[in-house]
Chains A and B, each alone.
Chain A
Amino acid sequence: MASTSTSPIPDVCLLVEGTYPFVAGGVSSWVHDIIRGHPELTFAVLNVGSHPAAYGEPRYQLPENVVGLHRVFCQETARAPLTGDERAELREEIRRMRDSADARTEPSRVLEGLRRLHLEEDADPEIWRGILTDLAAADLSLPELLYGRASFDLLTAIAEQVASEAPFLDLFWHYRAIHVPVLRLLAAPVVEATCYHAVSTGYAGLVASVWSHRTGRQMALTEHGIYSRERDMELARADWIRDAAEADDGGFGLRTATWAPRISPLRRLWSRFFRGLSRLTYAQATRILTLSDVNRKKQIADGAPVDKIDIVPNGVDLPAEPPPLLEADAAAADGHDVIELRPAPMRVGFVGRVVPIKDLITFIRACDEALRSVELDVRVIGPMEEDGGYASRCRDLVARLGRAEQIKFLGPMPPAKIYPDLDVVVLTSFSEGQPLVILEAYACGVPVIATDVGACREMVEGRTPADRAIGPSGFVTRVATPKETATALVTLARDPKLRRRMGAAGRKRVTTFYQRQDMLAAYRALYGSMGAAGPAVAAAKGDAPAGNVTAEA
């Protein structure tokens, strides 16, 4: 594990998967905000990454109160092809490792934990705490997993019980791909902290749970999106899993109207694994925080204990200056913040990373459709380098539709410069937690058109009766339906007053329910309840808060 630390025990260890501080995005911004919002606490950050070459330089300047940045990788960077001599050496090494793995007399508790992780059907947290106890034993070496007989017995048990139709060769490699990261993470040295806070379930949640179990320190979990559901969506599209689809259609490529793909046993295996990781984390977490009621229900369905869950919505700071008023409307404003109306074309923004899960393709198609009826000035604002292939496809689509004049890719911009120049923000994501983009738009009085994912509906239409009484602050559309998004765009473009009304409702909603200070207060209370009391307690213990991280190992 690579790490840089300049401090004694931090108050909170935040565990993130692949995001902060190396990848820009909603979760990273949230983490950054949480750290900056608690200057009285010290933080360590553990970033769980895929392999060392996957990430570049940090995208965020670490705040002063971050006392340690640690990295742990699930995989190693692939080695160069072997020569004949090296292959022979490796072969001998494997033989020795197999001999030593099979010489083991005591059964491995980790293997038992992994067996139950895959095969356990019951969501009872007690059972999952037992599985976590087995995994935390960390008594299985990588060679034992890769080459041992007991590990192969587990593989065959999985094959027979949950993936009997799967191509065994594929299952074998997937088995390794699933478990090698788990073993690496279990072997990672514990980063001491007063409490742990995982920002997702999955691998970060696993590490947080194991460390919490080993140290006896409390752990909290915040789920923005529902990890297992998001992985399911990725798995559904993953082309690295060989399906039996060819066999489904008789091998002739003739897919009739009645054809439906079977769920691949390998996808099912991965899905069960991720669900298992979530259940482990739910079982170990002292508190589970989520952003919306929709997500809370999903967590409960996935086995999270109801009494542990709290809803803490994201929050934003309201701009110091309220949105400017149109002179003509000033009299009607009646003391409330109202939104400036501009002449056509309506300025439409897509704000976010250009990645498949955001479904920019649907956004572009919707704009194309709407542009047949109204004038629009469309901006795609956000980083494009995360998935270059997808970004190219989006650009190509715009060019093919002949909309390069109306739809522009502007790249990333600071939030303060984005929203004052927009009339409406559109989200077409396949999956979201509680998008910060919506709150930022609302704070500037900009209405939103969003797909019905995560907390979007309750953010647009209201969660509680008091919230709903404010009125809708935009439109909710179905996922991947450009026509619905286009209709909403046309409606807003043709009715500036509706746009203004919705913008005002958004601003009122964020003012009432989504203030950053409320969110930070909730987390301050949470950290306090887990023993992270800040410098007063630290000083009493003789610990000194420390300097900042200066370099990344």
Chain B
Amino acid sequence: MAGIGWKLQRMIDRGSLAGTIGAYLTGVAVTSAPWLLTTAVLTSLRLVARRSGTEFEVIERFLTVVYAVTVVLSAPVHVVVSRFTADRLYDHHVEKIGAPLRRATALTLFMFAVTGLVLVLLMRLPLPLAVVGAPLCAIIGAQWLMLSVGGGMTSPVVVLRAFGVGAPLSLLAAWVFDHSFGFGPAGYLYGFAAGQLATLGMLVQGVARAVPGRADEAARLLPAFREYRLLAFSALAYYLSIWADKVVVYLVMGGDAAAFYAAIAAIAWFSVIPAFAWIYVQIETSFYQRFRAFYSDIEVGASLKQLKERADRISVEARRILRGAGIVQASASGIAIAAAPILVRAVGLSPDATPLFRMAAIGAAAQMLTLLEVLLLYYFDLRRDALLISTGLLAGETAFTLAAWGAGWPPVVGYVVACGMTAAAGAILVRRRLSTLVLDTFQSQPFGVA
């Protein structure tokens, strides 16, 4: 984290517009590129398939489910693994990273292969699709794990190169398998899987280079799952919340309504990219520096007065980032809302989707702010608070989406209300915790233990 932070800071410190833009584009690349490229490939596949008249719906539905399931199930793993990795980097025990990571990767591949098998059976995929469906689930699950570790240990170039090469390769391979080998619709899945495998291969190679060769085989990851279980649950709850409203819509309104709803939500989610990039750069640069300064000052013997000043600076900085994120997001949301008819038309949705899209954009903005609050709570190791916000978001989305449907309103209203309320609660909680940072830092210390 610190490494990329310094690079970003150097770019900003050049004082030129190009340097600043470069820093924020790096933020876009790191936070959104894998997701953008994957989405682009899936959209392109859909367009190519439609043009060639292929029945693509089954594959599209399967891929959507695979991504949803892997994102949700791998979230606890990658949060714990990245935290474990960060801790080992911090305490200079890098030799303890390699072996647990290897085992975690193997276990992830196995577990998601089983998950994929269950999915193909549940979705009754034909055999040619099922043969590649299960391995694809394992590949994508492992990608999330590598992304979480790679983000902390490797250069962003590794991640960008893996997805930059893998995404077009998926598209190309899909086209080749369909047209040259006559695989039909299954060819798209084979081609896509081949591209994703290449992406995973490049990620693994990049991470393997970053992990020191000297490995402590006795190092174990399981205790970290116990120690960071609140973080794991928090991540699980947050990622479940991304899908909770869609699942509710699917259950109460059926598949077509859910597909329509999901499409609107997916497009609206694009409006958070600028704010994501802005948050990423701010957190990794100025906020991280103030955060480190606070803890370094504790270690080097700062007085209470000095620590209070440092804590105040962190608090001011956190508020600045929240405010700034709000402004950037409001601008992006404003543009999205104003351009809603054009955007809705461009993606092939009916004009009825326009007001719903506008509301979804507002909900996405609030959800993005909630994520920022959860990240700030993670930063200060306030796991229980982070879990509270994440589960609040999950429960809120589920309940309010259901309530909106019950009241005869569009489900997106429930989504907006839930995200808005959670973002507000999160802001209050972050503000309150930062006001007692010195107290919490010290009075949480155990006594009489090594």
Contact = CB atoms under 8 A, between A and B. Distances in A.
Interface of A: 75-76, 78-85, 87-88, 90-91, 94-95, 98, 146-149, 151-152, 155-156, 159-160, 164-172, 176, 180, 242
Interface of B: 223-224, 226-229, 298-307, 384, 439, 442-450
Most chain B C-beta atoms within 10 Å of own C-beta, residue among A78, A83, A88, A90: A88
B444 A98 contact: yes
Between B224, B446, B447, the greatest number of chain A beta carbons within 10 A of the residue's beta carbon is seen for B447
Contact of B227 (A87, A98, A169, A180): A87
Nearest to A158: B304
Contact of A88 (B227, B300, B306, B448): B227
A166 B226 contact: no
Given A79-B449, A81-B450, A152 B301 contact: no
Contact of B450 (A80, A95, A152): A80
A77 to B, nearest CB: 9
Contact of B307 (A81, A168, A242): A168
B226 A171 contact: no
Given A88-B226, A88-B227, A170-B301, A95 B443 contact: no
B303 A164 contact: yes
B412 to A, nearest CB: 37
Q: Which of A75, A84, A94, A166 has the most CB of B within 10 A?
A: A84
Nearest to B440: A98
A76 B448 contact: yes
B384 A95 contact: yes
Nearest to A180: B447
Contact of B304 (A78, A168, A180): A168
Contact of A171 (B304, B384, B447, B450): B304
Contacts of A82: 449-450
25 contacts: A75-B448, A81-B449, A82-B449, A82-B450, A84-B224, A84-B227, A88-B228, A98-B444, A146-B447, A147-B443, A147-B444, A148-B443, A151-B443, A152-B439, A152-B442, A152-B443, A160-B304, A164-B303, A164-B304, A165-B303, A167-B301, A168-B298, A168-B302, A168-B306, A176-B447
B52 to A, nearest CB: 54
A84 B84 CA distance: 11
A84 B446 CA distance: 14
Contacts of A176: 447
Contacts of A159: 303-304
Contact of A83 (B223, B384, B443, B446): B223
A88 B446 CA distance: 11
B303 A166 contact: yes
A76 B446 CA distance: 14
Nearest to A81: B450
A155 B307 CA distance: 14
Contacts of B444: 91, 94-95, 98, 147
A98 B447 CA distance: 13
Nearest to A149: B439
A209 to B, nearest CB: 26
Nearest to A169: B298
Nearest to A147: B443
Contacts of B449: 78-79, 81-82, 90
Identify which of A155, A169, A171 gathers the most chain B CB atoms within 10 Å of its CB.
Answer: A169
A372 to B, nearest CB: 47
A413 to B, nearest CB: 40
Contacts of A88: 226-229
A167 B304 CA distance: 7
Contacts of A76: 448
A83 B384 CA distance: 20
Contact of B302 (A78, A147, A167, A180): A167
Contacts of B443: 98, 146-149, 151-152
Nearest to A86: B449
A20 to B, nearest CB: 27
Contacts of B445: 172
A309 B303 CA distance: 42
* Residue of A85, A148, A180 with most partner-chain B CB within 10 A: A85
Contact of A78 (B299, B303, B306, B448): B448
B442 A172 contact: yes
B439 A94 contact: no
A126 to B, nearest CB: 32
Nearest to A167: B301
Contact of A79 (B226, B229, B299, B450): B450
Contacts of B300: 167
Contacts of A81: 449-450
A90 B446 contact: yes
Contacts of B223: 83-85
A81 B223 CA distance: 14
Contacts of A84: 223-224, 226-227
